[in-house]
């Protein structure tokens, strides 16, 4: 009976839609562009302006008179942020706004697996959809230029090609749910110190080769519906209203048809916002809205001041129509989209996705004498000691706008205890005291991490217990406190905080079976690297952190992560600190810091390889519990002309005793370049799963475009004839085979 009622209702609605005179903008069967133009033709000037700015902390209005809904936005790239009050940053006090925290984007990039990125995008998109959000403020794809950047954990590493391949499936996955991805922070937002007052000076070649490709891929391949401007300056203009970046490049060269959204507090001038490409203004601190208290949205730069300029003839109505058209297009793609699927929140499928992505992104940096995996056979007695505050501290709370309120978070200690086989005992020692607080924006972890003992007593306890253990697992690194992996400040140094180096060295002397699990979104110095036989880079892994780590430690999952950034030995080995001008030079008499990117295109491994600086761990590095052998590559040609392609196939054999995944990386060297070029550049990668004794072939296709560099003089991509080399590699420093070839 109920089914018959539904069928009758659907038939009646279809008949009504077919016969009624529905305005085009309300008819979901019409083309979006037709709906946009129809709605625009019915709107008053005041209504057009009204949809260009916020009406609350995280929402913007629609057109109530026409039945057009507004937009609800949400942080962030790793999970759906809890609700705040209408006009305030304070918590709204909801009890049903917890979420699944997915691993930070450094971890996603470390999977080197676009399938994981698609899974991530779909999963977080479903959570946003369930919570009624139209715009997800993420993902972030700013380039990892310095390991001091407090916000690096939100981004996808140092290489533009890797970030480009990983951002596209994320964007598509989110938008398949009818939720807009808002790719951020466009662009050159490579540090948090002085982020509102830094003017980046970078040459066009570095801009186009290093800092723009991931944004371009998100727009042209991912079809991103929105972009968030950055706080900093470029060419003395704020990047939330920047002629070159927004109008010339984004909307001009790339044909972006979506909405440019300001970062919260990133808009500074009405006239500049109008003419220099901003479409939707959020979070401004203008008259009457001091630091976010209510209520003066009509005083936003793109509100009453814009109307006043239009009334005086000081603003072009065509520019207003372009902005309103873009916002309407976003509305019809999201909040007015009647074909959206159903969302889901805190589902077991999402927890499983978080766990799987986390485990696949963990990087086995070192594993001397096969210390890992830990024994997992029931009945075999073993004593494991876990040491370190990060073994129990919640990491989903803090870090800035990506801070979350989670339904649950499994700590590394709890994950290890749950995975320990029968007969294994797991003890704990604090080892050091870091940040005992656990609160951000009204969300509290509920943990009591207070400690009355001093550093010497804590180390003594850990060492004494370590001497009695069969295995010691130190879980440390950074946290999401200010000055570490956190928005609005950079790290003070490359070193581990809270005296952890001393703790690790003492543990290494007490027990040779030591595993260090570094939890961070950034590279850290490791003066003890030769003392420690096994090291895992574990990132911020979200709700399933402890389970993902335990899956790797006990061998349930064979590690396959690869580093998305170079780990330098010391800070002076990083180009931004060796020859760049980090954190900038203050202009006399002005609150502006000019920062020249003197290193140009030589960022990350490009700098280390070209200058022959040995890293602590190279870009692309990551070990496995099995071993792989690369065969001799075969190429279908050794000469290539314009319009032609070249394919190279290499066989990968699993020479160990357990199944594993290997990421084969393709790097290109320009042997005799007429301009400065890096020693090698990543131009392809493939991740394959190989069973013991099995051989799989991996094929890459190379085109002349893969050999091109950006010629700033002609403003074009140029490939020059000459000799090149294609390298099959397991990291930027581990070349398995090289194929020379010529571009005619």
Residues designated as active site:
263
Q: Cα torsion at 521, 78, 281, 442 (round to 10°)?
A: -90
Tokens of 438: 């656990």
Q: What value, to the nearest 5°, has the Cα angle with vertex 502 and ends 499 and 506?
A: 145
Map residue 309 onto helix, strand or coil: helix
Of the candidates 176, 233, 232, 186, the residue with the CA atom closest to the CA atom of residue 211: 186
The C-alpha atoms of residue 390 and residue 259 are separated, in whole angstroms, by 40
Phi, psi of 131, rounded to the nearest 5 degrees: -85, 5
Q: Are 392 and 413 contacting, i.e. CB atoms less than 8 angstroms apart?
A: yes
Q: Are 599 and 607 contacting, i.e. CB atoms less than 8 angstroms apart?
A: yes
Of the candidates 166, 179, 157, the residue with the CA atom closest to the CA atom of residue 221: 166
Q: Are 398 and 486 contacting, i.e. CB atoms less than 8 angstroms apart?
A: yes
Of the candidates 265, 283, 299, 230, the residue with the CA atom closest to the CA atom of residue 88: 283
Q: Are 109 and 116 contacting, i.e. CB atoms less than 8 angstroms apart?
A: no
Of the candidates 219, 217, 221, the residue with the CA atom closest to the CA atom of residue 255: 219
The C-alpha atoms of residue 216 and residue 213 are separated, in whole angstroms, by 5
- DSSP β-bridge partners for residue 689: 661
Tokens of 500: 């952890």
Contacts by 721-726, CB closer than 8 A, 24 or more apart: 722/670, 722/671, 722/672, 722/673, 723/671, 723/672, 724/668, 724/669, 724/670, 724/671, 725/668, 725/669, 725/671, 726/633, 726/635, 726/648, 726/666, 726/667, 726/668, 726/700, 726/702
Strand 716-718, strand 709-711: pairing = antiparallel
Phi-psi region of 589 (alpha: psi -120 to 50; beta: other; left: phi over 0): left
Q: Are 138 and 78 contacting, i.e. CB atoms less than 8 angstroms apart?
A: yes
Q: Which spans in 221-347 are helix H?
A: 270-275, 304-311, 317-333
The C-alpha atoms of residue 704 and residue 642 are separated, in whole angstroms, by 6
- What per-residue string of b and e applies to 437-455 under the rule 16 or more CB within 10 Å gives b? bbebbbbebeeebeeeeee
Distances in whole angstroms, Cα of residue 405 to Cα of each of 95, 97, 155, 346, 607: 10, 8, 21, 12, 39
The C-alpha atoms of residue 356 and residue 342 are separated, in whole angstroms, by 23
Q: What is the DSSP string of 543-582?
A: GGHHHHHHHHHTTSS------SS-B-SSGGGSHHHHTS-T
Q: Are 260 and 226 contacting, i.e. CB atoms less than 8 angstroms apart?
A: yes
The C-alpha atoms of residue 710 and residue 719 are separated, in whole angstroms, by 9
Q: Which spans in 20-50 are helix H?
A: 32-42, 45-50
DSSP 252: I
Of the candidates 396, 391, 392, 479, the residue with the CA atom closest to the CA atom of residue 100: 396
Handedness of CA 489, 493, 494, 497 (dihedral sign): negative
Map residue 350 onto helix, strand or coil: helix
Place of tokens 């401007």: 229
Tell me how long the chain is. 744
């Amino acid at each position: 009976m109920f089914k018959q009622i539904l069928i009758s209702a659907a038939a009646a609605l279809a008949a009504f839609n077919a016969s009624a005179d529905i305005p085009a903008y309300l008819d979901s069967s019409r083309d979006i562009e037709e709906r946009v133009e129809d709605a625009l033709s019915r709107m008053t000037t005041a209504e057009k302006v009204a949809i260009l700015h916020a009406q609350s902390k995280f929402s913007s209005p629609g057109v109530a008179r026409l039945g057009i809904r507004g937009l609800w936005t949400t942080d962030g790239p790793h999970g759906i942020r809890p609700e705040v009050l209408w006009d305030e940053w304070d918590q709204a006090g909801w009890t049903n706004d917890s979420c699944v925290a997915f691993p930070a984007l450094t971890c996603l990039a470390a999977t080197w697996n676009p399938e994981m990125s698609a899974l991530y995008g779909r999963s977080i998109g479903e959570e946003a959809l369930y919570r009624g959000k139209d715009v997800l403020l993420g993902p972030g794809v700013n380039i990892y230029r310095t390991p001091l950047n407090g916000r690096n954990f939100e981004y996808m590493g140092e290489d533009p090609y890797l970030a480009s391949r990983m951002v596209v499936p994320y964007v598509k996955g989110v938008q398949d749910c009818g939720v807009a991805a808002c790719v951020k922070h466009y662009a050159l937002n490579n540090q948090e110190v002085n982020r509102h007052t830094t003017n980046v000076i970078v040459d066009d070649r570095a801009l186009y080769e290093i800092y723009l490709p991931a944004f371009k891929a998100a727009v042209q391949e991912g079809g991103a519906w929105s972009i968030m401007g950055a706080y900093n300056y470029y060419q003395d203009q704020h990047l939330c209203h920047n002629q070159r970046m927004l109008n010339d490049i984004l909307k001009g060269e790339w044909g972006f048809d979506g909405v440019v959204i300001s970062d919260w507090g990133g808009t500074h001038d009405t006239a500049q916002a109008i003419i220099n490409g901003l479409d939707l203004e959020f979070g401004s601190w203008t008259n009457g809205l001091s630091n976010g208290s209510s209520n003066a949205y009509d005083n936003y730069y793109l509100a009453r001041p814009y109307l006043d300029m239009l009334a005086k003839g000081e603003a072009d109505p065509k520019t207003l129509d372009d902005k309103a058209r873009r916002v309407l297009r976003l509305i019809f793609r999201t909040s007015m989209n009647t074909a959206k699927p159903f969302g889901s929140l805190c589902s077991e499928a999402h927890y499983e996705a978080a766990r799987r992505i986390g485990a696949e992104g963990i990087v086995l940096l070192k594993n001397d004498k096969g210390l890992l995996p830990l024994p997992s056979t029931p009945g075999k007695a073993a004593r494991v000691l876990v040491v370190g505050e990060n073994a129990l501290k919640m990491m989903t709370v803090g870090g800035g706008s990506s801070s979350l309120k989670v339904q649950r978070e499994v700590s590394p200690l709890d994950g290890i205890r749950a995975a320990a086989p029968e007969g294994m005992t797991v003890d704990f020692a604090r080892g050091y005291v870091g940040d005992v607080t656990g609160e951000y924006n009204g969300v509290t972890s509920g943990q009591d991490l207070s400690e009355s003992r001093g550093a010497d007593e804590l180390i003594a306890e850990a060492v004494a217990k370590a001497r009695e253990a069969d295995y010691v697992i130190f879980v440390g690194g950074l946290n999401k406190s200010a000055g570490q992996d956190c928005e609005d400040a950079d790290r003070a140094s490359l070193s581990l905080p809270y005296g952890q180096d001393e703790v690790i060295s003492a543990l290494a002397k007490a027990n040779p079976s030591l595993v260090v699990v570094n939890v961070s979104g950034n590279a850290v110095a490791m003066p003890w690297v030769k003392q420690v036989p096994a090291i895992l880079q574990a990132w911020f892994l979200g709700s399933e952190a402890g389970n993902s780590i335990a899956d790797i430690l006990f061998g349930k999952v064979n590690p396959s992560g690869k580093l998305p950034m170079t780990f330098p030995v010391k800070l002076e080995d990083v180009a931004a600190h060796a020859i760049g001008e980090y954190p900038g030079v203050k202009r006399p008499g002005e609150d502006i810091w000019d920062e020249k990117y003197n290193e140009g295109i030589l960022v990350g491994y490009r700098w280390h390889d070209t200058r022959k600086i040995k890293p602590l761990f190279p870009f692309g590095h990551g070990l496995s519990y099995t071993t792989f052998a690369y065969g001799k590559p075969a190429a279908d040609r050794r000469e290539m002309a314009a319009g032609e392609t070249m394919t190279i196939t290499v066989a990968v054999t699993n020479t160990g005793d357990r199944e594993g995944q290997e990421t084969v990386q393709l790097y290109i060297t320009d042997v005799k370049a007429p301009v400065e070029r890096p020693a090698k550049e990543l131009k392809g990668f493939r991740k394959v799963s190989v069973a013991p004794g099995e051989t799989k072939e991996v094929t890459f296709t190379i085109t002349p475009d893969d050999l091109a560099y950006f010629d700033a003089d002609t403003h074009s991509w140029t490939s020059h004839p000459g000799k090149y080399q294609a390298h099959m590699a397991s990291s930027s420093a581990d070349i398995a085979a090289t194929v020379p070839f010529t571009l005619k």
